[in-house]
A and B are shown apart, each in its own frame.
Chain A
Amino acid sequence: MKMNRRQVLKAGLAASTVYSPWMIARAQARPVKLAAILPLTGAFAFAGNAALDAFRDAADRINDSGGIGGRRFELVVEDDGYDVARGTAAFNRIVQRESPEELVFVYGDSTGLSKALAPEITRLRLPYTATSFSNELADPNTYPTIFVFGPTYNDMAGALLQQIRRQKGRGAKIFLCYSNSEFGRDPIPFIKDRAAKLGFQIVGEEVTPLAIADATPIVTKLRQTQPDFVIMQGYVLTVEPLVVRAAREQGVRATFMGTYYSAELALMQRAGAAADGFIVTYHNAYYYDTTVPAVEQIRALRRSKGRDLSYRTTYYMGSWMAVDVIAEAMRRAHAAGKLTRPGMIEALESLGDYNAGGQVRNMRWVNHRLPFTKLWRANVRDGRFDAITDWVDGSKL
């Protein structure tokens, strides 16, 4: 095809506009955004505010080192008060307000909110993770854009059952105590199923609200059933200290166990000596473990900003890890020229051996979750959790 002079001039003008330094500068000036819906108020404010602290620190570190390919990394934060309705409204506000070119990832709150939003997240093809470790969310066939940055509650329970097999073997007696919530009920069918296959006996089951006034009825059942292990699920250190203290007071000698949200030092702070020996799953690093590079990164960043260097909770550590991983995916997506929502999913799926400064084993997804965790035992004398295993694949039973 032969072009006339006018067409050549028009094409030249268009090309120079598209590829002009001004356009490139404009694209680079456009920030890349991560939205976070966090429980900054309400029953889980302690976790939400710790997460926000981590998000801000991690964002400072990213921007201090040049952002994402020259684009500024920005946080969009909304409070949901651990309420599904408020969280849904916050999510709708965010996706309507922010442009898809800038907002490439959403970090959400809770199992309930994540399950409620999952169909819409999938429709929008929006990369998403949350504070939840629900098994249902880690299903790329149903929810191809949702990732669980750690083991699911089933994997955590699987790791606990492996520990029970090591400690006691067949015939172990297990008592289940869980909250009457999505969070509490999530791994219970899995535990019952696997326990039966492993020859364990579920000798009792107690369902409670998220907060209780008195643990005596639960402990009475523990005294009646004499379990070897008590698995507690779906609490955030409101119920565990009450139960474990009352149980020890009444001479119950069972080993208590919990998952990620029981793995915080506040367990010992609240339950005192009774917490000694409590076994938990936890898949990130503790802030006191200075051999982990991520801990040094956090301390260096906070030192450079003149921020408090005292203990950071597990909620902080998990959130720092999440932003670290998301930022790495953004860098890789940018390097591939695809810093878009679909590009982010590709980048996340190909992170491979990236270990977020030692905060995870690796980023090799199994159905969009990372099934590895470690088991830790509460050591009240030292005020720490001691690792009692290396990485355990919770999905292998």
Chain B
Amino acid sequence: MDLALVIQTALNGLANGALYAVIASGFVLVYRSTSVVNFAIAEFMLIGAYLTYTMSLFFPLLVAILLALPLAFIFGVLVERGFVRPLLGRNVVAVIMATIGLAATLDGATLILWGPDQKAMGAADVSQLPKEMPSLAFSLGGVFLSSKAVWSLILALPLAILLVLALKYSRYGVLLRAVSESETAALAMGINAPRVVAVAWGISAVTATIGGAFLAGAAGGGGPGHHLILLGLIVFPVAILGGFDSVPGAVVAGLIIGLIEAFSQLYLESLLPGITQAIPFLIVLLVLLFRPYGLLGQHRIERV
């Protein structure tokens, strides 16, 4: 086996996994704080990618991503205020149906706001070439790392880790954990629980925007478009493998699934076409059968 190839595949897998990790950690954050499964997470990525695209028409791409983040945060807070908060405390099925409805609404909204045409980052029309992030691609000892992979590793991975640390050690992280344990108790302790929850939704939109921008080609090829919805489905296997209510679990699971996908695409895909797409969902099946609380999720025992 070619060691350089293995290392290269592993690094690229980790780079992709870092994107999955950062998106899934925001998704899990929302679940922890509100017990809402956000079925519109892929549409959050789509909105984030389009916000980045809009900013990229006026600014260099890296600046565009950074400017899109506060807009995404506001978007997340608005979704929580306008859509989620009125539904809290309702039947879980109603909330699930509502987030599915939210997904369809956001899908339609992107079509209305940005139009159906194919787009590329930084290009206002087909006569323009795309804007690119500075190339960080390098080759060392037969190991090649693409610019996209390097950017993912230096932006997404630290962000995911930062999120884990912030949740554990920062004041806001403690507040969020308190709200997720018991919103009533947190309110009784004087914690502004609605604000904490709104911030969780805002952070989720920010992490989805980073994932969406990179998967939409911020560092090489592609553009914002509906294919992000297909890519966004990966969040669910990542979250389930991680334990669904564990942000560190989501980060670890994202990296694992990124690695598995990379090696599967390299070694298994030609033998079993379609296997790479199926593997994350096979993992979900196995996790649900043998370890329903995932890698780092809470062991809940419900007595009925």
Report how far A91 CA is from B303 CA in the complex, Å.
Answer: 50
Sorting the interface of chain B by its residue count into under 10, 10 to 19, 20 to 34 or 35 or more gives: 35 or more
Chain A residues engaging chain B, CB cutoff 8 angstroms: 40-46, 48-50, 180, 204-218, 220-221, 237-238, 241-246, 249-250, 264-266, 268-274, 310-311, 313, 380, 383
Query: Least Cβ distance of B129 to chain A in Å?
Result: 5
**Minimum CB distance partner of A41 in chain B:** B111
**Minimum CB distance partner of A274 in chain B:** B221
Report how far A49 CA is from B116 CA in the complex, Å.
Answer: 7
List, in ascending order, chain A residues with CB within 8 A of B220's CB.
242, 245-246, 249
Task: Pick from B9, B119, B139, B223: contact of A217, CB below 8 A.
Answer: B9
List, in ascending order, chain B residues with CB within 8 A of A268's CB.
126, 129
Report how far A80 CA is from B116 CA in the complex, Å.
Answer: 15
Q: How many residue pairs bridge A and B at CB < 8 Å?
A: 153
- B1-39: contact bitstring with A at CB < 8 Å (1 yes, 0 no)? 000010011001001100100000000000000000000
**Minimum CB distance partner of B144 in chain A:** A250
Report how far A311 CA is from B147 CA in the complex, Å.
Answer: 32
Contact A244 B5 (CB under 8 A): no
**Minimum CB distance partner of A241 in chain B:** B221
Given A211-B227, A211-B230, A216-B262, A383 and B127 contact (CB-CB distance below 8 Å): yes
Query: Least Cβ distance of B13 to chain A in Å?
Result: 8
Task: Pick from B107, B132, B234: contact of A41, CB below 8 A.
Answer: B107
List, in ascending order, chain A residues with CB within 8 A of B147's CB.
249
Contact A266 B231 (CB under 8 A): no
Given A48-B116, A249-B147, A269-B130, A206 and B221 contact (CB-CB distance below 8 Å): no
Q: Is B226 part of the contact surface with A, judged by Cβ < 8 Å? A: yes
Contact B126 A311 (CB under 8 A): yes
Contact B120 A270 (CB under 8 A): yes
Report how far A82 CA is from B261 CA in the complex, Å.
Answer: 26
**Minimum CB distance partner of A310 in chain B:** B125
- CB interface residues, B 86-130, toward A, < 8 Å: 107-108, 111, 115-120, 123, 125-130
Report how far A249 CA is from B221 CA in the complex, Å.
Answer: 11
Task: Pick from A46, A215, A265: contact of B116, CB below 8 A.
Answer: A46
Report how far A237 CA is from B123 CA in the complex, Å.
Answer: 15
Contact A245 B221 (CB under 8 A): yes
Contact A206 B123 (CB under 8 A): no
Enumerate 21 A-B pairs (CB-CB under 8 Å) in ascending A order. A41-B111, A46-B117, A207-B269, A209-B230, A211-B227, A214-B12, A217-B12, A220-B8, A221-B266, A238-B222, A242-B220, A242-B221, A246-B148, A249-B146, A250-B137, A265-B126, A270-B221, A271-B221, A274-B221, A311-B125, A383-B127
